[in-house]
């Protein structure tokens, strides 16, 4: 048995892992510790004579073309393998729009004729890189921050929290602060803002954050950032306040620590303590200097306030470090998952061609158990 399996492993081409993020795409082979390339999710569009982002689409046809071009770039310029007859592990969020999933499936199966696709959600994959049974994954992406509790290999769907608190929100706030500082609309490009955010911005500790608005507080030191067109002075105000937008509380309770606590609150009561003791903060947005420490401090403070005090007051928060850089944690999880089972969980091409259907958790067709009294109706 083992011998035959070994032969099968040799014959099976090494699968690739695709993590198509909003800003950056991670792509590489399964079983490797790091992706082969991390490139911006955009390609040169000869028709429009500009760099076009994959997520910049109006309808399905445009998305189809974007994905074809992007995958061509990934396969033939970066990873240099034939897409045909090779399996793919797609790392996706549980909240990926159906249109995007289905179009990606169409492009992979029909256009590139891959032999199978394994669809895996990023929260579970992030938990895989730790090996823990119960994990709370806080994924701060380019647009959204998503908090998903993974309990024994399954995400707690009804407790998923998501908010527009990604790196993009920090960039937008940074642009506003810089305009305010210079008294002029600067119209900085996304690249310049990203560069300032990554290199100059930081998240002050909680003690300092509380004193920011008091008179007489010494401002942070300003820095000069050399941009493509000019040298821009980034004041201390912009440097330390840009990320405050993530921690801004209002009546809606939609700040980043609120999302984390709300997720724990909606989880089963016997998993809550474990979840708080196993927090993993990942995603490209989490790499911001000082963000993790601040989030930890805010969580510990917030848990003593209502409405969390009554049910969560005794939680002790502990944090994990994933065995890879922040931006590629879910990719590494995909690499582990794809290599471990040799692609046996993948949706095969012939199966897809027959039914043209993807399994998805919001779809009753796939989530209704066979003993449910509606099951028979759904089958016809």
Partner 1 sequence: MAYLTQPDYVKYICSCGQLKPITNLYFCRHCLKIRCGFCICHEVDSHYCANCLENMPSSEARLKKNRCSSCFACPSCFHTLSTRATLARDPAGGDGKPPKKMYYLSCFNCRWTSRDVGIPDQPVASGGWPERTNPFTTRFNQLLDYYKAIAQQEKQEKLDKERKKFVTRGKYINLTDKTGLTGAMARNIAGLPSSESSSSVISNFVPSQASPDVEELPDDYHLKEIDLKQITRISQRTSCPELQPSLASRLSPRPRALCVKRSQRCRACDHNLTKPEYNPGSVKFKIELLAYYHVPEVKIISYETIKPGGTSALLLKLSNPTAHEMTVKMLQPEDVPDQEDEHKTIEKTLEKSLNLEKDISWNASFPRRPPPPNAGSVNLPAVSLTLAQRDDAAEYDDEPPGDNDDIILWRKSNKLALRLKLTTDAQAKVGSNAYFSFALQYSYRNTVPPSATVVQHSDHTLYTTLILDLGKVCE
Cβ-based nearer residue to partner 1, 314 or 374 = 314
Closest CA to 54 of 96, 116, 113: 96
Q: How far is the CB of 251 from partner 1 (least distance, A)?
A: 29
The residue (of 163 and 334) whose beta carbon lies closer to partner 1 is 334
**C-beta of 19 vs 144, nearer to partner 1:** 19
Helix (H, G, I), strand (E, B) or coil at 160: coil
* Cβ count within 10 A of residue 286: 21
End-to-end CA distance of the chain: 39
What's the min distance (Å) between Cβ of 231 and partner 1? 11
- Residue 152 or 373 with smaller CB distance to partner 1: 152
230-258 exposure pattern, b = at least 16 Cβ within 10 A, e = fewer = eebebbebbbbbbbbbbbeeeeeebbbbb
Smallest gap from Cβ 250 to partner 1, in A, equals 25
Q: How far is the CB of 262 from partner 1 (least distance, A)?
A: 21
Complex with partner 1: residue 185 or 367, whichever CB lies closer? 367
User: Whole-angstrom Cα distance, residue 133 to residue 40?
Assistant: 33
User: Considering the complex, what minimum distance in angstroms separates the CB of residue 318 from partner 1?
Assistant: 4
The rounded distance, in Å, linking the Cα atoms of 268 and 288 is 31
Task: Put residue 85 in one of left, alpha, beta given phi > 0 → left and psi -120 to 50 → alpha.
Answer: left
Minimum Å gap between C-beta 120 and partner 1 is 13
Select 240 or 258, whichever has its Cβ closest to partner 1: 240
Per DSSP, the three-state class of 109 is helix
């Amino acid at each position: 048995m083992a011998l035959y399996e070994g032969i099968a492993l040799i014959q099976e081409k090494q699968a690739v892992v695709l993590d198509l993020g909003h800003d950056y795409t991670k792509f590489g082979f399964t079983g490797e510790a790091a992706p082969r390339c991390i490139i911006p999710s955009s390609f040169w569009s000869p028709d429009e004579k500009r760099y076009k982002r994959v997520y910049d689409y109006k309808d399905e046809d445009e998305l189809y073309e974007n994905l074809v071009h992007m995958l061509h770039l990934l396969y033939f310029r970066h990873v240099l393998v034939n897409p045909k007859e090779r399996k793919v592990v797609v790392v996706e969020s549980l909240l990926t729009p159906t249109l995007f999933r289905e179009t990606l499936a169409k492009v992979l199966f029909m256009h590139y004729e891959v032999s199978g696709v394994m669809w895996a959600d990023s929260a579970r994959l992030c938990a895989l890189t730790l090996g823990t049974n119960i994990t709370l994954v806080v994924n701060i992406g380019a647009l959204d921050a998503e908090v998903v509790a993974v309990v024994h290999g399954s995400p707690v769907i009804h407790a998923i929290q998501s908010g527009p608190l990604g790196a993009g929100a920090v960039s937008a706030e940074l642009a506003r602060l810089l305009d305010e500082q210079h008294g002029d609309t600067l119209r900085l490009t996304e690249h310049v803002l990203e560069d300032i955010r990554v290199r100059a911005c930081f998240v002050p500790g909680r003690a300092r954050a509380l004193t920011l608005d008091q008179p007489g507080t010494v401002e942070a030191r300003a820095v000069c950032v050399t941009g493509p067109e000019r040298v821009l002075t980034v004041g201390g105000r912009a440097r330390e306040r840009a990320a405050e937008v993530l921690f801004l509380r209002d009546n809606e309770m939609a700040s980043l620590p609120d999302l984390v606590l709300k997720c724990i609150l909606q989880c089963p009561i016997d998993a809550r303590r474990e979840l708080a003791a196993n927090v993993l903060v990942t995603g490209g947005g989490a790499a911001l200097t000082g963000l993790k420490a601040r989030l930890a401090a805010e969580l510990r403070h917030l848990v003593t306030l209502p409405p969390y005090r009554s049910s969560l007051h005794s939680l002790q928060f502990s944090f994990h470090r994933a065995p890879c850089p922040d931006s590629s944690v879910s990719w590494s999880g995909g690499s582990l998952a794809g290599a471990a089972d040799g692609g046996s969980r993948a949706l095969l091409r012939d199966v897809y061609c027959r039914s043209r259907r993807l399994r998805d958790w919001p779809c009753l067709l796939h989530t209704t158990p066979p003993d449910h009294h509606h099951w028979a109706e759904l089958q016809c």
